[in-house]
A and B are shown apart, each in its own frame.
Chain A
């Protein structure tokens, strides 16, 4: 299973260029899509799930052209949008059954068993007769991923799946995706939460202003920020200066003043030391230094 994106662009009727000339290769497993608001992540995903037509470029999924073979591609898709709400009046079970039906599961026994199994997997079996729109936020996300997975898709696209989930649910959710990603499928995970990518994805892409800023593994991105992460012990007066000079990752008040994590080539004049970089540091460093574009995430 692989996805090849070549020179993909999307220009909206109002002239807004949402994505611009993106080329990308995605292989089996989890693939992270990172980028600030307006970077074009959702547009790219909506193109990949056949909801939107690209203006130019080409996408092939397992050799199938996304535009010409929309029918075949939809059969292997699973999709969980970002702000997903349910049709009112349907129960959890009915909603999943509806999704299963539309995914092509015709045999009622097979479908019933698949629905029940999926409800078990996402921990919603007990809530099978509850109206879907009355579930808690976490349960709704689980039901969302359940409908995306109900037909055993080979390409799963999830947009901000862990937003609003408590830590326990986030971990469970990530683990679920990781488990699925071992089965000859591609999971494209778009998220603001860098940690979700670092803990699950073997490869990733960074989008900014509709353009592909980085493509590779998270580790390679982290390497680029290897000695650039500093922990500065700063006084109250320095705190404000540092905030203005460097991209600040975190600030912790101490008895003496502040412990501030920043990404920078050097911290001239301040007292601090190197610490190990992670993907979050790397993302900030990359955005600040490679693209000369710092945008708060």
Chain B
């Protein structure tokens, strides 16, 4: 019989001893001070005194983050304290007076464990109290009391039990505290810095990576996973503790206790392992199911689909189950009879009955595929098909086109992890979209080859929902509510229907005839009070934002209503190759993450405070109302930008910036749910149209981002196109990041064929009208081609095959770029001239973009931001043109973009401000084909660039073995690294910039300045001996200073010319040097190769090695 008295006594005095330990006290004080400052910082002071919205927006996140921080440190400290008790026990004489007492080893170890745990629980209590205090004093934040309990139980308890048990066990086995520390701290370090979320975060004993975000809507979205994962560590910890009882070096007091410890420890171990295997098994079985689903879908690759004209869906919300009756009116619109009629339906939904034209019909169910046995439909034949089914949604059957690695990748915001959910069916909340396949959809779902799932059909929907009293159902169309019964009817065909049911409240406004709704969970309306002062102005601000967007995409908003629906934070979707529509976008509505936590501009109070303290309004005279309007505008802009916040990562000293797609970009509402241009042969066609239409909303990529990355995504796209065809890139998961850019580049190339003949404005008018004709209908690429042919006489189809599969790219040489002001009549205009050659055998286009301040176009009005005029220049293979543009007003800058080409960088930027007036220049706009191509060098010039074979650099082979082992080849970044002027690399590094010398590729090698031990060498081939003038191409960095700060471009470059009379150290002073070619002197060379070297010796911060030119005298 276990003596609780003994356990309590041992625990009590262990606790007292540890609480009085200075080691623990110092750690506790540091933890308390750090977390107090952290809470003060993120909840009170940051963000202009409004606190960090990502944290305070959801009150449960406050205890989550606090315990996350504490847990990492306490897990380490627990190792010290836990192993210390066994060390203390090794002082035998001291322990002997305890060991000879009448108690069992179990009581002793359990008592010690509890004593240790109590100490940490006290600390947790203190930290949580601090968090609660900050939670209470933070403005506009409620307290989620239960979250404090949940996170304590899920984060701290399993971690402490596990790490203590492990410490006891290892200490018992090794019996050396120092070695135990090394082993366990090594384990901590590996799990924190290497294992992280690998292996389905199986090794994440500190809960640092497992998603634990708690939603106000649905709580933990992954409760089962969390309980299994945390339970695994809890039981493994218990097992280790009970094994320690057996291993304790004290004569057992009770054999019964030993057997109990052995049995109980083994049971815990087995259960812990079982939970671990279940944890991993759940992921693996998901993956297995997905593979089966994909394989099954591909079996139906050639099966044509029926067209659904009408959906009549009846949903009964029964707790965690859906009970549905769905009637579909279908037609075989194919030209041939359908031998098989198949539908897909989420495999978690069990079909109980199917009727065809009112008669029960046999069916065969394979996973998600429902095949109506024996049903054949002749061309044009119609049928009414009734499905009755019930069950749950299996979410692993969603996003079958998304690879496993992407699916299991962490979803992180601020410092917390969020689980990814694609559907919710709980007694109090439902969220279903087409991706969940919660209603029958023609076809077999997504496969590896079969992408029919992503094709769209326009159908009429009627949706009837019965749910719990008090809940609100939200879907597309007009709604009629009768108590807890909702009926939605769409007034036009739709591609899909979604269903959201929850404890919502609705805010509604009529904006220019558009029904504008905001649905938020009751108690989540944190914004009405903020906007109270400007509530009468809101409709006009929203209308203006909408018009601006309509103007930029040259399309009207197609629906009668727009709803912003708050959904659980866990709701997640993926960017896809063949569809630009994320599931957050549904017809007529945007599913917006809980409290706008993922959108910084949803923090209205914070943004207001930020503007007041630091923002552009701080020094301006703006009324509070005007500031709030600006805050609202900024929030609305969250829906009109395609890219979200850039994600910065360092890799091998280089900054990598990944632009994350913005899931709330509303373009899909304008295009994807209103139009569909289908092509079975080139499924990406619709995306090309989509991409073309949305390019008007592209924000100009910031130069510094490209400079930091080394290459823009367009340039990376071009690099990819050098080795892969468009078709191959679309199928290559490694190219997912740049696939949008490639689609856009290829789209521009495709449409330039029409524009070249039709003209820009004509084509835009045509496209605008054409899309209006096919609104809410499916059109094929052949339909579009026919329309183009009818209007412009151009047949696109023959060009499409090579457009899709060719690997050839044009290459452009651009020279003599000249921008001046000229007088055209009595108006001063800007004229930009240059010569361009396409040196490859395939045709190509370049785009010249001028940034202006004015706006214009179909939708009229003035945009708030700068407008861009784009001009396209088409060049046949091996063709050269002289082009000239004449611009009214004062363009602020221009960029020549070589689009799909071999050129790197693909963009040459030209500032056009403060231009001089050329009184002799003749104003002219147009392009002329000329015979003489652009020449990169004159006939008597010999140039060796850093891209040429004659250029070599030394390698600084320093670096630790660990670094070499840890950084694999796979992690090396793209060929051209970013340009880091403040922290230049220690090795010669290749970087691209339009200011460097180059033919197609304008690049240079650069290195941190040093003592001259690193060299770049140009070996210049000479055909004859003699005197040569030697020039170096010098890049002048106008943004950064010398090594000791101060003047920009302070410092010098040393070029060593090895000539017949010896070696000459030609020094170029960067202050006085010309940007471009600089003369180093004239030297006699008699050998067939001249050698010029450059070292890294310089007072400048960095040294840039670009090109050397020799001209024979």
Contacts and interface: CB of A to CB of B under 8 A. Distances in A.
Interface of A: 46, 49-53, 70-71, 74-75, 77, 79-90, 94, 98-99, 101-104, 106, 144, 147-148
A98 B100 contact: no
23 contacts: A46-B96, A53-B251, A70-B251, A71-B102, A71-B254, A74-B100, A79-B97, A79-B100, A80-B97, A81-B92, A81-B96, A84-B93, A84-B94, A85-B93, A86-B94, A89-B17, A90-B16, A98-B9, A101-B12, A102-B98, A103-B101, A103-B102, A106-B5
A82 B94 CA distance: 10
Contacts of B6: 101-102
B251 A83 contact: no
B101 A88 contact: no
The 7 closest A-B pairs by CB, nearest first: A101-B9, A102-B101, A89-B20, A74-B102, A81-B93, A49-B100, A75-B102
A144 B250 CA distance: 21
Contacts of A52: 251
Given A89-B17, A90-B16, A102 B9 contact: yes
Nearest to A91: B16
Report the interface size class on chain B: 20 to 34
Q: Looking at A80, A81, A98, A147, which has the most chain B CB atoms within 10 Å of its CB?
A: A98
Contact of A50 (B16, B98, B100): B100
B96 A49 contact: yes
Nearest to B21: A89
A51 B94 CA distance: 13
B13 interface: yes
Main secondary structure of the interface of B (DSSP, over half): helix
B96 A51 contact: yes
B13 to A, nearest CB: 5
Contact of A102 (B21, B94, B103): B103
Contacts of B101: 74, 99, 102-103
- Which of B12, B93, B254 counts the most chain A CB atoms within 10 A? B93
B1004 interface: no
Contacts of A102: 6, 9-10, 98, 101-103
Contacts of B102: 71, 74-75, 102-104
B94 A87 contact: yes
A87 B90 CA distance: 12
Contacts of A89: 16-17, 20-21
Contacts of A85: 91, 93-94
A98 B101 CA distance: 11
B93 A77 contact: no
B361 interface: no
Contacts of A75: 102
B5 to A, nearest CB: 5
Contacts of B88: 87
Interface string B98-126: 11111100000000000000000000000
A81 B97 contact: yes
Given A77-B100, A85-B94, A102-B98, 12 more contacts: A50-B100, A52-B251, A70-B251, A87-B88, A87-B94, A89-B17, A101-B5, A101-B6, A103-B101, A103-B102, A144-B97, A147-B97
B16 A148 contact: no
Contacts of B252: 70
Contacts of B309: none
B144 to A, nearest CB: 38
Interface in B238-259: 250-254
Interface string B5-34: 110011011001100110000000000000
Given A50-B251, A102-B102, A94 B94 contact: no
A86 B88 CA distance: 10
Interface centre among B12, B13, B17 (most CB of A within 10 A): B13
Interface string B283-325: 0000000000000000000000000000000000000000000
Nearest to A106: B5
A160 to B, nearest CB: 11
Contact of A90 (B17, B100, B254): B17
A83 B97 contact: no
B544 to A, nearest CB: 70
A249 to B, nearest CB: 32
Contacts of A53: 251
Contact of B253 (A71, A83, A94, A148): A71
Contacts of B13: 87, 90, 94, 98
B354 to A, nearest CB: 72
Given A85-B91, A87-B94, A94 B100 contact: no
Contact of A79 (B5, B20, B96, B103): B96
A287 to B, nearest CB: 27
Contacts of B12: 101
Nearest to A84: B93
B97 A84 contact: yes
Nearest to B249: A51
Contacts of B250: 51
B21 A99 contact: no
A85 B91 CA distance: 9
Contacts of A87: 13, 17, 88, 94
Interface in B71-106: 88, 91-94, 96-103
B271 to A, nearest CB: 30
B17 A83 contact: no
B104 to A, nearest CB: 8
A66 to B, nearest CB: 10
Contact of A70 (B5, B98, B253): B253
A75 to B, nearest CB: 5
B251 to A, nearest CB: 6
Contacts of A147: 97
A184 to B, nearest CB: 20
B259 to A, nearest CB: 15
Contacts of A49: 96, 100
Interface string B795-820: 00000000000000000000000000
A71 B3 CA distance: 13
Contacts of B10: 102
**Residue in B5, B16, B97, B250 whose Cβ sees the most chain A Cβ within 10 Å:** B97
A106 B6 CA distance: 9
Contacts of B103: 102
Contacts of A80: 97
Contact of A82 (B20, B93, B254): B93
A132 B9 CA distance: 18
Interface in B475-532: none
Contacts of B17: 87-90
Nearest to A87: B17
Contacts of B97: 79-81, 84, 99, 144, 147-148
Contacts of A144: 97
Which of A80, A82, A86, A102 gathers the greatest number of chain B CB atoms within 10 Å?
Answer: A102
Contacts of B93: 81-85
B1105 to A, nearest CB: 65
Contacts of B94: 84-87
A75 B3 CA distance: 14
Nearest to B107: A102
Contacts of A103: 101-102
Nearest to A147: B97
